[in-house]
Amino acid sequence: MTDKKQPIDTHVHMEIEPEINKFFKACVKAQASDLHLKVGQPPKLRMRDGIKNTNGEPLDAKKIEHLVFEILSEKQKTFFMENGALDFAYEFSDTDRFRINIFKQRTKVSLVARRITSKIPPFEMLHLPKMVQKIAESAHEGLVLVTGPTGSGKSTTLASMIDHINSLRACHIVTIEDPLEFVHTDKKAIVSQREIGIDVLDYGDALRSLMRQDPDVVLIGEMRDRETFTAAMRAAETGHLVFGTLHSASAAQTIQRILDLFPQEERDLARQTFAMSFQAVISQVILPSIRKDCARVPAVEIMISNPIVKKLISDGREAELGSVIRACSNEGMQDFTESLKSLVETDWIDLKTALASAPNVEELKMALKGIRASAGVIL
């Protein structure tokens, strides 16, 4: 016997269509990200601009229990009644599935379902710089980080990069995600997707067994702690291509965010290891577009590993990275100022949005006038 709980969740698919499917259909039709069912409230959908009521009637406790218990196995029901919460995946259609969490609050059952789609947008639809696609095509080992605040499109960018590799390379791609956000179907590659809490207990368990799964490409949904990041860098150092995300606003801030994961005595080693193992840092933020055919567009900073960048990181001079990124535009690098300048000049965003999002307003104003600061880096 062990005290360690094992994930008991199964991927549920019903032969007879359950009543709850009408709510999932509404979620898919509205292109909502989440469905919320709560006693005393009508069904609600999370849209881009917040949670919205549907035109359904308020649900009582008996109705929600019926909707939920109809799609649970006996084992799942028992687990839920004993623990008060349950995660499981529900196969709704060939293109959509739901990650469902049911939980008790004030003794009543509530449900939140996250829609997971296999419709992965291509690079062109995401309006990403060409360099993002080139990184996916050319990198075969090392660490690639996509960073930005919550809601900045990191997961979508990574999904497109993984899908592109899936279309080009005969390899094994392993993703470790919490939650799983896109469903990948095998193309040239074999894609194995492991969802925390459903397919594996936690990131630690998933990472410990990773190398036994013969991966070529690894996606780690989020670098949450020292153990996760150490495992990612170890995999990158041993010839694997590793993708991951971090909550950081720029390339320079990414370095500090990584170091913050480690105790003081381990930071120098972490710095040197990262400098040698990383391939690219892609930082992005989503901005409202002024074009009628596109609601949002990303502003993107790209830092590529080269000898100068490696040396600056190794020497603890990340404050100078911005100058190198500006100077190495011929290698595909760009900073946020250059990205915002381009978006304004090509009529994707208005000047007010660009200035409000600029890391340095005066620098952006100068760039729009055709004036950029020189690199000024002494090695």
For residues 249 and 187, membership in a common domain is answered with yes
Question: Residue 324 in 3-state DSSP?
Answer: helix
Question: Residue 104 in 3-state DSSP?
Answer: strand
For residues 187 and 291, membership in a common domain is answered with yes
Using alpha carbons only, give the angle 61, 64, 69 rounded to the nearest 5 degrees. Answer: 120
Is residue 44 assigned to a domain? yes
Instruction: Read off the pTM.
Output: 0.82
For residues 153 and 103, membership in a common domain is answered with no
CATH number of the domain bearing residue 170: 3.40.50.300
CA 53 to mean position of chain CA atoms: 27
Burial of residue 259 (number of CB atoms within 10 Å: 0-12, 13-18, 19+) = middle
In this predicted structure, what is the pLDDT of residue 2?
Answer: 42
E strand segments, the chain: 11-12, 34-37, 44-47, 50-53, 85-91, 96-105, 108-117, 142-147, 172-177, 190-195, 217-220, 241-246, 278-288, 296-304
Strands laid side by side in the 172-177 sheet: 190-195, 172-177, 217-220, 241-246, 142-147, 278-288, 296-304
For residues 136 and 189, membership in a common domain is answered with yes
Which distant-in-sequence residues (6+ apart) come within 8 Å of 234 by Cβ?
Answer: none
Q: Would you give the DSSP letter of residue 334?
A: B
Q: What are 64's two structure tokens?
A: 């929600």
Tell me how far apart the alpha carbons of residues 275 and 48 are, in angstroms, rounded to a whole number: 37
CATH number of the domain bearing residue 89: 3.30.450.90
Query: Which domain does 51 fall in, by range?
Result: 11-117
**Which of 67, 94, 117 is the last residue before a domain boundary?**
117
Q: Would you give the DSSP letter of residue 284?
A: E
For residues 302 and 278, membership in a common domain is answered with yes
For residues 15 and 29, membership in a common domain is answered with yes
For residues 63 and 26, membership in a common domain is answered with yes
DSSP 160-199: HHHHHHHHH--SEEEEEESS--BPPPPSSSEEEEEEBTTT
**Which of 90, 117, 144 is the last residue before a domain boundary?**
117
Is residue 160 assigned to a domain? yes
Side-chain-side CA neighbours of 126 within 13 Å: the count stands at 26
**Which of 117, 135, 162 is the last residue before a domain boundary?**
117
For residues 22 and 153, membership in a common domain is answered with no
Count structural domains, the chain.
2
Which residues face 99 on adjacent strands?
89, 114
In this predicted structure, what is the pLDDT of residue 1?
Answer: 40
Is residue 292 assigned to a domain? yes
Q: What are 10's two structure tokens?
A: 């199964």
Is residue 222 assigned to a domain? yes
For residues 207 and 325, membership in a common domain is answered with yes
Tell me how far apart the alpha carbons of residues 318 and 261 are, in angstroms, rounded to a whole number: 17
Tens of each residue's pLDDT in the chain, 379 residues: 444 454 544 455 556 789 999 999 999 999 898 999 999 999 999 987 789 999 999 999 999 999 999 999 899 999 999 999 998 888 888 778 898 999 999 999 999 998 888 789 988 899 999 999 999 999 999 999 999 998 899 999 999 999 999 999 999 999 999 878 888 999 999 999 998 878 898 898 999 999 999 999 999 988 889 999 999 999 999 999 999 999 999 999 999 999 999 999 999 999 999 999 999 999 999 999 999 888 889 999 999 999 999 999 999 999 999 999 999 999 999 999 999 999 999 999 999 999 999 999 999 999 999 876 555 555 5
Which ranges of 38-169 would DSSP assign to H, the alpha helix?
A: 61-69, 74-83, 123-126, 130-138, 154-168
